[in-house]
Amino acid sequence: MKDFFGQQEQAKRNTSFLVLMFVCAVILIVFSVYLAVTAGLLVTQVFIAQQTDLFIHDFWDVDRFLWINGITLMIVAAGSVYRTHQLKQGGGSAVAALLAAERVPSNSMDPLHSRLLNIVEEMAIASGMPVPPVYLLSQSGINAFAAGFGPRDAVITVSQGAVELLSRDELQGVIAHEFSHILNGDIALKMRLMGLLFGITLISDCGIVMMTARGSSRHHGQERGTHPAMLVMGFMIFMVGTIGSVFADMIKRAVSRQREFLADAAAVQFTRNPEGIAGALKVIGGYASGSRIQHAATQQTSHFFFCNAVKSWENKNWWATHPPLIERIKRLEPGFNGHVNSVDAVTRRAEVMSGAMHAFDAGQGIATGLVASADALMLSIGKPDGEALQHARHILNRMPKRVTDFAHDSFTARAVMYALLLDSASTIRKGQLNQLQKQADASVFRELLDIQPLVAKLDPELRIPLLEMLIPALKSLSRTQFDTFRGCISSLIRADHKTDLFEYMLQRMLLRHLYPSFLKTKPLKVCFDSPEQVIDQVAELIVLLIDRGRHVNPANTFKLAMSAFHEGDMPDMPVISAGVIHTLDEALKKLERSSPALKRTLLKACVVTVLADGNTAIAEIELVRAIADALDVPVPPFDTSTQ
């Protein structure tokens, strides 16, 4: 199985293949529309035979082809650009809204919802990515999906049937499968597929408009029926558009099928429990409603789901969006005999609810030795395993319940964020509180005074996981609330007239993940794919890490780290005496435009730096996590329990 960066490269190749197939589909449609229009004009001649200047003397006409070609391309391109832009503005939540899914409140008291949210939190923290918002689909079928263009705007949506009928292990396997799609770049590919297909479907819509158009009498103003020539032309264009949509839909389904086995395998690696996801598939196979989702938008979103969401002929192997259920189970359990037992939904619901009512076993989730070497951590990027998941549970168990309760509510989450930025020096903290009292919501300020002592006592290594937990709640703020919140964050950081490294990292990570929900953002383009293009910026990051870790032999650590990044000539060790924040910010702005392969070597150099002297300081771990976040690389939490 490829590593995270290999999967990113594979996702790029899949996108290129998709674009090529889409172009082929459009070319086929253009020629077919030309044939349809020409046939319609031939029929028209029967009704206007006296006007010989409108006769079609040749079947092939360059001017006619160019006109039809231009109009067809304009319709397809406009539709695709419009839908893709619409999806980018809404991210994964746009797909959830299309299916009428509702956001699960982060502070939900429903035991089944709390169990779901806890699983998603564990997965996100173990993966080293922000916790995505969770949506609930009011459907009895057992299904789920992840959507979005990347970790920043990703959402997890789960059906009511999955929440009620799957045990914790089974639901965890399903969620792990969906996280694999996020980490491997599959969701971005699926979002683009959805946008491209919308443009093609407009052709058949144009045919319908032509067939249903009504004329009117010039003299009497009476409505007339559709002209026979228009009926013929509209019908043929409708058929062309439909066939083109079917062809494009087959591309969508083929791309979807090839990624499902990978996601199943990744889920097993993540949870170390093949019985979990296999059990979920067996429940689906034995449940009367299966994985069906009954909604008007199911057809266009079917490639997002965990299992086939549409019944009947879509479940044929050559047409389905997913591999056969039995084949997926056999790959997870080689000894499976192919028989699934029928599911008694009433009994199953009672059992699942009973399990959800019990508290988590506090004895589970303590992991040791997560990071044995730089290579081990690099292999874990984008492919978290059971050990990382246990460590994530351990982190959540160490969080005071009152802090997690505050973090799950959009109102009190702001107070937690403010508390993270309060200075340890009493004089500076007093000035920050005075400023907040003037600027922040009065009720939020009162909550801050309540939660601040608990947040101040948190172990430093819990700060970034806590930040990741805050993201879903903060994304549900109104635009006005967000603007006030952003202003308060800025005021807290400027209170002492300087910005330290932790404040910068916290602000950058937070706003980077919140901006797409409130402001228009443009996707970054890859501009650098050679080590020589960014070697100076990498050297600066290594020096900053060395300084944060207080290494005994900085020069040797620098050489070791730079050799991990580039085997050629390396620059001298830079001296950063002033402007640390500016240096880091400028370096990250350039490095975030690097290719996946370049990001791999950069992250490895950073990890080598952290582990060079056998001691992992919290300050340098936080900086590595901030660097990885800027590069869109989900680095799992470091485990320092054995050091």
Residue 330 to residues 258, 296, 305, Cα–Cα distance (Å): 16, 32, 20
Gap between the Cα atoms of 334 and 212, Å rounded: 55
Residue 22 to residues 15, 86, 193, Cα–Cα distance (Å): 10, 19, 9
Q: If 0-12 CB within 10 Å is exposed, 13-18 middle and 19+ buried, where does residue 65 land?
A: middle
CB proximity list for 280: less than 8 A, separation 6 or greater: 142, 162, 166, 170, 171, 173, 174
Judge contact between 509 and 467, C-beta under 8 A: yes
Token match 């040797």: residue? 556
Judge contact between 241 and 203, C-beta under 8 A: yes
Q: Which backbone phi and psi does 155 adopt, to 5 degrees?
A: -135, 155
- Please give the biggest Cα pair distance in the chain: 97
351 catalytic per annotation = no
- Catalytic pick from 178, 468, 540, 622? 178
Where does 340-462 have alpha helices with state H? 345-357, 374-380, 386-398, 401-407, 410-421, 426-439, 442-456
Token match 């050559």: residue? 318
Q: Tokens for 108, please give them.
A: 């939900």
Instruction: Classify each residue of 356-384 as buried b or exposed e, where b means 16 or more C-beta atoms within 10 Å of its C-beta.
Output: beeeeeeeebebeebbeebeebbebbbbb
Judge contact between 308 and 145, C-beta under 8 A: no
Count each helix (H run) and each strand (E run) in the chain, helices first.
Answer: 26, 6
Catalytically active residues are 178
